[in-house]
């Protein structure tokens, strides 16, 4: 075996001995972005399908979570910037080849949309609510009259947001673990699943919970299918991707990934949801919390492990 070392002395912060630049705020941001994408996706989907009455949690109440998730997500993204006070530079250009650039623009569009969407349902939550300003009351009426139009915009933006959280990583060919086209769809499905889990957790309607248990089981099945294919791709891939896969197949991420993400974050909650559909009494919070923890753990592990995979040395 060849031995390769740096002899001029190099110990650059966050670069050596291996890249460790993106810390917890980035996976937390990716998680919150995926969660908001999931919630807004189902809200728009069932608005377009005209199911506001049957699925009030999906269309109305869960969407109050989305603006907070997006604002906190953006805050975490901001605190991980190293040259923070130049962040406005993001909005002076649109660079089509940079996922981060169009991600910034999508967030700029979907965040206010999510505020408007939830705010126009505030009166249904608090009947005595009054916006005090005439213009806001008129705007509220306009939003209520144009829900379908907003839903079409939001469904498109939420899919782009969900995929973007994965493509952000997969665009970096320098990190073999991330450099796979499956990452975009995988993060999208995972985000939709965390969104569905949140709706399931918040819902008080039996039929709605049943529907979202079914949706969640389907999403988890797709996610597991993608994960199997991800590793099949790595194992049939070049040396650098074989090394990346080894981190999860005997390496230091084996237990956290297969235990916390695949077993307790996907397989177990899917099984609990299936039991509930079969008539067993299982509090919806348990599978929902497991899925949310699994989704967060998945992103933390993917970011940290990906930074360790490399071409040289």
Partner 1 sequence: MRYAMAIDTKKCVGCSDCVVACQIENKVPTGYCRDWVTETVYGAYPQLELELRSERCNHCDNAPCVRCCPTGASYIAEGGVVLVEASKCIGCGACIESCPYDARYSHPDGYVDKCTFCIHRVREGLQPACVAVCPTKCMYFGDLDDPSSDISKLLKTRKYKVLAPEAGTKPQVYYLL
Sites of contact with partner 1 (CB under 8 A) = 2-15, 19, 21-22, 80-84, 86-87, 89-90, 92-93, 95, 97-101, 103-104, 171-175, 238, 240, 307, 310-313
Tokens of 292: 């949310």
Q: State the nearest-atom distance from the C-beta of 303 to partner 1, in Å.
A: 10
Contact partners, residue 137, CB within 8 Å, separation at least 6? 130, 131
Q: State the nearest-atom distance from the C-beta of 189 to partner 1, in Å.
A: 23
- Which CB atom, from 6 or from 49, has the smaller least distance to partner 1? 6
Contact partners, residue 107, CB within 8 Å, separation at least 6? 33, 70, 73, 74, 161
- Which CB atom, from 95 or from 204, has the smaller least distance to partner 1? 95
Long-range contacts of 9-17 (CB under 8 A, 24+ apart): none
- Which CB atom, from 10 or from 132, has the smaller least distance to partner 1? 10
Q: State the nearest-atom distance from the C-beta of 150 to partner 1, in Å.
A: 27
Q: Which residue has the tokens 């939550």?
A: 125
Classify residue 51 as exposed, middle or buried by CB count within 10 Å of its CB (0-12, 13-18, 19+). Answer: middle
- Which CB atom, from 26 or from 211, has the smaller least distance to partner 1? 26
Cα–Cα distance, 212 to 206 (Å, whole number): 10
In sequence order, what DSSP letters do the residues of 26-39 get, joined into one string? HHHHHHHHHHHHHH
Cα–Cα distance, 74 to 90 (Å, whole number): 13
Q: Are 162 and 188 in contact (CB under 8 A)?
A: yes
Tokens of 154: 């939001």
Q: State the nearest-atom distance from the C-beta of 305 to partner 1, in Å.
A: 13
Measure CA of the first residue to CA of the last residue in the chain; give whole Å: 12
- Which CB atom, from 105 or from 271, has the smaller least distance to partner 1? 105
Q: Are 40 and 154 in contact (CB under 8 A)?
A: yes
- Which CB atom, from 55 or from 300, has the smaller least distance to partner 1? 300
Q: State the nearest-atom distance from the C-beta of 16 to partner 1, in Å.
A: 8
- Which CB atom, from 225 or from 311, has the smaller least distance to partner 1? 311
Q: State the nearest-atom distance from the C-beta of 28 to partner 1, in Å.
A: 16
Q: State the nearest-atom distance from the C-beta of 196 to partner 1, in Å.
A: 30
Cα–Cα distance, 160 to 102 (Å, whole number): 9
């Amino acid at each position: 075996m060849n031995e390769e070392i740096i002899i001029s002395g190099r110990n650059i912060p966050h670069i050596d001995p291996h890249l460790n630049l993106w810390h917890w705020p980035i996976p937390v941001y990716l998680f919150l972005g995926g969660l908001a994408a999931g919630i807004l996706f189902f809200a728009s989907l069932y608005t377009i399908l005209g199911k506001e009455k049957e699925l009030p949690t999906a269309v109305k109440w869960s969407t109050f979570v989305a603006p907070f998730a997006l604002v906190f997500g953006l805050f975490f993204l901001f605190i991980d910037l190293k040259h923070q006070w130049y962040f406005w530079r993001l909005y002076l250009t649109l660079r089509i080849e940079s996922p981060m650039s169009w991600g910034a623009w999508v967030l700029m569009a979907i965040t206010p949309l999510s505020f408007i969407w939830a705010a126009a349902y505030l009166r249904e939550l608090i009947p005595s609510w009054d916006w005090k300003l005439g213009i806001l009351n008129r705007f509220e009426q306009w939003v209520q009259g144009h829900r379908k139009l907003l839903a079409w915009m939001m469904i498109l933006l939420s899919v782009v947001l969900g995929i973007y959280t994965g493509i952000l990583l997969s665009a970096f060919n320098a990190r073999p673990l991330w450099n796979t086209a499956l990452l975009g769809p995988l993060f999208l499905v995972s985000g939709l699943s965390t969104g569905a889990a949140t709706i399931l957790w918040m819902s008080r309607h039996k039929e709605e919970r049943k529907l979202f248990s079914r949706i969640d089981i389907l999403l988890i099945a797709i996610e597991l299918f993608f994960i199997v294919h991800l590793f099949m791709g790595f194992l049939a891939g070049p040396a650098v991707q074989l090394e990346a896969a080894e981190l999860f197949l005997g390496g230091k991420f084996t237990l956290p990934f297969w235990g916390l993400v695949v077993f307790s974050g996907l397989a177990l909650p899917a099984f609990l949801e299936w039991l509930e559909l079969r008539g067993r009494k299982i509090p919806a919070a348990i599978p929902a919390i497991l899925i949310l923890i699994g989704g967060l753990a998945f992103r933390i592990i993917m970011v940290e492990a990906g930074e360790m995979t490399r071409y040289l040395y």
